[in-house]
Amino acid sequence: MKKYNYNSGPAILPETVLEQAAQAVIDFNGLGLSILEIGHRTEWFINVLEEASSLVKELLQLDDSFEVLFLQGGATTQFMQVPMNLLGESDTASYCDNGIWGSKAIKEAKLFGNVHIACSSKDRGHAYIPRELTVPQHSKYLHFTSNNTVEGSQWHFIPEANVPLVADMSSDIFSRELPFDKFSLIYAGAQKNAGAAGVTIVIVKKDILGKIGRAIPSILDYRNHIEAKSLLNTPPVFSIYVSMLTMRWIKQEGGLTEMERRAQQRSNILYETLDTLNVFEGKVDKQDRSLMNATFTAKTPELEKLFLEECNANGMVGVKGHRTVGGLRVSMYNAMPVSTVEVFCDLLKTFDRKHS
């Protein structure tokens, strides 16, 4: 049976990327060696690393004041590594509390300095994005999660602040055009829009570093990774290679302009369908709905369970909501064809007619 992948991550990858990566596991570039076997300091891999870094800058239209790093530990490690590098013990950083990942980032930042909550959507279960922020001018930076994978909300504007901006873009990087040069640091786990699990992309403006007195462990100091060109320790070679292939694909398909057009198209089809049904209801305010992760519920737990059984019977995987919030979720990342959304909407309509 054909499977339809709606997983929130690790997520769907372009078919051509899967084919190229599979071939490289057997024979990388005709070398007679697997990509899993080549040395990380060989010219073969250095070329991969340099192309991947160059593609990040090209796609995001960044100049050489930014450095691109390929690290490990996922965005969860960045919750700790960002304040360790940017926040002194007596300093204050501002954070937006708009979902589970933002809350986790706040918890880690409090270990290194003072945290000011610039805005919060806790009062309504993170079903919206606040429009009013308070950011003290002495804040070392303002941190926000651009897309909330679990709750299904997304920032469709950049929060205003006269302090450096730091963003967790794990689930919507490379999906839309933004003035990325306004940010001082961006980080993203690759397993949504940027490749396979195992590598984390960190984009940092060099002038934000080296301004605290704290001693930082060598492996956690961004400056050391910059100096070593992401080779301070053995990097996740295969994951970086898949990220490079994925970014090549994005560029060949039309770049972020085309990715954003497709994201709008997919999400419009799904949300317009949901809004006409009786059995299902969206969880997030319409103006703040995510283009990547649509979250919704059925009228009763029994109907929800029955719908998930229907999804399973039709080869649709990854529809169950995150374990912390329940409900239903459909993730629509860059590599998802429009037809995959249309098939899901057909099932929604059929189920709704049967159970309304």
Q: Exposed, middle or buried by CB within 10 Å (0-12, 13-18, 19+), for 325?
A: middle
Q: Are 307 and 330 in contact (CB under 8 A)?
A: no
* Cα 129 from Cα 146, distance rounded (Å): 10
**Residue in 65, 124, 75 with CA at minimum distance from that of residue 97:** 124
Q: Are 270 and 330 in contact (CB under 8 A)?
A: yes
Which candidate in 192, 205, 283, 320 is catalytic? 192
Which candidate in 91, 97, 168, 288 is catalytic? 168
Q: Exposed, middle or buried by CB within 10 Å (0-12, 13-18, 19+), for 354?
A: exposed
Rg of the chain over Cα atoms, rounded to whole angstroms, equals 21
Which candidate in 101, 140, 221, 320 is catalytic? 101
192 is catalytic: yes
* Cα 227 from Cα 66, distance rounded (Å): 13
Query: Which residues are catalytically annotated?
Result: 101, 168, 192
